[in-house]
Structure 1
Amino acid sequence: MSKKLKIQSPKIPTGLSPFDYNNREDSYINMALISDCTISQEDIEKVRFEEVVFKNVTFLDGSFRYIQLTDVIFERCDLSNVDFTDGIIHRVEFRDCKLLGLNLADATLRNVFFENCNLNMGSFGYADLKEMRFENCSLRSADYYEAKFNKLEFKHCDLEDANFTGTRLAGVDLSSCKFNRLNLSLDSVAGCMVSADQALGFAKLLGLEIKE
């Protein structure tokens, strides 16, 4: 049995002060609770959040390129179609969030945990992902094109039509996940761990004919 991957949790101090993001004065937010609000049409680069909790926050048409997130929790938030391209994300958790089309292309992620999230059509193309877990998430049509994986876990996720083309899946265990179709290349699958039923599906995806 493989050893469970240890993910570093966000380091959140007690007694965070409520903060009104829409009245912020600079691009660095620290030790804050941002809750029950909408952040609309924000377009900003290199904003930094450290030791911050977002609860019930909806982001509408937001662009946060080069965002830096360290020790941050998103709980029951909606970040659909938000742009986090080229972000640096460390010790961050997304819990029960709607993340349809979230763009994390070219981002660097370390110790990030997605739990019970809808990440359909999420983009991780060319991203650098290390020490991460996706658990009970919907990742239908998610794009991991030429991403770098190092110590990743997918637990009980829906990976239907996800794209792993150009991404090495060595050491990645997909056996608890469900999918009928994946997009991948022959050099992607070496060392990937799957169930017996999934192995037949992989063979068909790679163009092999299975004789009964």
Structure 2
Amino acid sequence: MTVPEEIADLSYANFLRPHEGPLTAEGDYDTLHFDRLTFEGDSAGGARFLESAVTDCVFADARLRRARFNNVWITGTRFTGVSLAETDWLDSWLTGCSLAGVESFGAVLRRVVFRRCKLDSVNLRSAALHEVAFEDCVLRDVDFGEARLDRVTFPGSTLERARLGRATLEKADLRGALAIDLADGYESLRGAIVGSVQLLDLAPALARMLGITVKDR
């Protein structure tokens, strides 16, 4: 999926209108441009965002549980302590964004691209990721426990202390990842695609998991 580099690349760019004011629960946000705005403590559960752009905004302690994002372009935006639990994402892009302490458990992401993003302590437990790409990202302490990763890719990304306990991986492609460091869930790598060099790096942990003792004379 081609990632728009600037707002003019969006098919709906000419229809965007500036947004003003707070976010509200069950709100409808269609063809809006959220630019350099701060949403602190806003409660917008069940809100719907369609063909909109978010540029250089701050979301802090906002509540967006069960919100829907369809064809939304987000760039240069910070999410801190935000609830995105059980949200639904389709055909959306996040570029140069920072997500810290974000709750995204039970979320559904389909054809979503994260590019040059930092994800720190993001909870994606029981989430469903389908054709999601993490491009040149840093994923630190991200929890994929019990999640389903279907055709998820990590080109140029670094995984630090990622959790995969009881996750299901189907054609999840780790070959482009720069580093794979798991806090748990090595057994969940069944169904993943890795390169030969990565397999050598993972071998000691896999051996420990299987109870294999490796000794040279």
- TM-score for the superposition, normalised by structure 1: 0.78
**Quick one: structure 1 residues 142 and 35, their matched pair in 2 at CA, closer, same or farther if it must change by over 3 Å?**
same
2:133 is matched with which residue: 93, 100, 113?
113
| Partner SS state of residue 62, structure 1 | coil
- Provide, for residues 135-154 of structure 1, a one-character-per-residue CA deviation record: whole Å limited to 9, x for no partner: 22121110010000101111
| Partner SS state of residue 207, structure 2 | helix
Alignment partners' CA distance in 1, 2:182 and 2:208: 14
Contact 2:173 2:192 survives alignment (8 Å): no
Runs of 4+ in 1 over 6 A off after TM superposition: none
Counterpart in 2 of 1:158? 179
Contact 1:56 1:75 survives alignment (8 Å): yes
Q: Mind listing any 5+ residue stretches in structure 2 that lack a counterpart?
A: 28-46
- Provide, for residues 59-97 of structure 1, a one-character-per-residue CA deviation record: whole Å limited to 9, x for no partner: 121011110000110000011221111001100000000
Counterpart in 1 of 2:196? 175
Aligned ranges 1:1-212 → 2 under 5 Å: 13-16=10-13, 17=16, 20=19, 23-25=22-24, 26=27, 27-154=47-174, 155-177=176-198, 194-195=199-200, 199=203, 202-203=206-207, 206-212=211-217
**Quick one: structure 1 residues 152 and 94, their matched pair in 2 at CA, closer, same or farther if it must change by over 3 Å?**
same
Contact 1:35 1:54 survives alignment (8 Å): yes
- What is the total number of aligned residue pairs between the two structures? 188
Contact 1:10 1:91 survives alignment (8 Å): no
Is the strand fraction higher in 1 or 2? 2
Alignment partners' CA distance in 1, 2:20 and 2:168: 33
| Partner SS state of residue 188, structure 2 | coil
User: What percentage of aligned pairs have identical amino acids?
Assistant: 22
Contact 1:18 1:33 survives alignment (8 Å): no
CA RMSD of aligned residues (A): 2.5
Displacement after TM superposition at 1:10 (Å): 7.3
